Amino acid sequence: MLLVPWPAFLGAIALAYVALNLIFAGLYALDPQGIANAQSFADRYFFSVQTLASIGYGYMYPQTGYTHTVVSLEAMVGVVSIALLTGLSFARFARPTARVMFSQKAVIAPHNRVPTLMFRIANQRHNQVYDAQVSLSWFQDEITAEGQGVRRFYELPLTRSRSPNFRLSWTVYHPIDRDSPLFGQTAADVIERNGLAMVNFSGIDETVGEPVRTRYEYGPAEILWQYRLVDIFETLPNGDRLMDLQRFHGVEPC
């Protein structure tokens, strides 16, 4: 409930609210004379709504021991439900989120004459993220010496894994040298081994002073070989630097 989007969260609450009132309306219907002036199932449903929310009764009120018992049960359920809903809503509002945008594609191309896996991230907010850190893990299927298939992961070293002040854009580089699990592989090898690059980002949001985290994955279809990321920066006549996010996901052949 903390992770689903707000429309799904509100929709789930609405469905649970209607279902709970339908259940109690059914319990009230077991005693047809239990609620004064209740003539139909709809009357019992709205009587349940008033009881669950502690609104108070108008011309309908419980008048038998059974109905008083059900009303007591529903009142307790209402108190607990309101407390849970309040806690969930507050937790969703208070939970900081990292609005970090990842390039849709990662590329492998020469960088400083070394084959390099590259992607970039951008801060979508107008504030800063302090002590931002990125880690990159590589997953692939392998066969052991005994012929057993396993799924292994490797921590990929980066040229820079930490930024003291992340405000605009950050291009992440992993040199594919002899120590890299990607060394000597081709695009077909990555597909055959079901390769996957997992990115983890963390930092401190300057506005709320709380840690924020997010992650992203690049599968074989999202890793392009012999492509490079399009330049998104340009210098204006007054000397200011402009970052064009419309080109953020752009790539071009080497």
> 160-214 pLDDT, tens per residue?
999 888 888 889 999 999 999 999 999 999 999 999 999 999 998 877 778 888 9
pLDDT band of 127, cuts 50, 70, 90: confident
Torsion of CA 3, 96, 106, 165, to 10 degrees: -170
All domains in the chain, ordered by first residue: 6-94 (1.10.287.70), 100-253 (2.60.40.1400)
What is the arithmetic mean of pLDDT over 243-250? 88
Between residues 114 and 59, which one has the greater pLDDT? Answer: 114
Given a contact cutoff of 8 angstroms between Cβ atoms, the answer to whether 151 and 139 are in contact is yes
- State the chain's mean pLDDT as an integer: 89
All residues at 6 or more sequence positions from 128 whose CB lies less than 8 Å from its CB, including other chains: 165, 166, 167, 206
pTM of whole model > 0.85? no
What is the arithmetic mean of pLDDT over 76-83? 90
What is the arithmetic mean of pLDDT over 86-109? 86
Q: Does residue 100 register a pLDDT over 90?
A: no
Cβ neighbour number for residue 235 with a 10 Å cutoff: 9
Joined together, the tokens standing for residue 136 give 């990159």
The Cα–Cα gap between 129 and 209 comes to 9
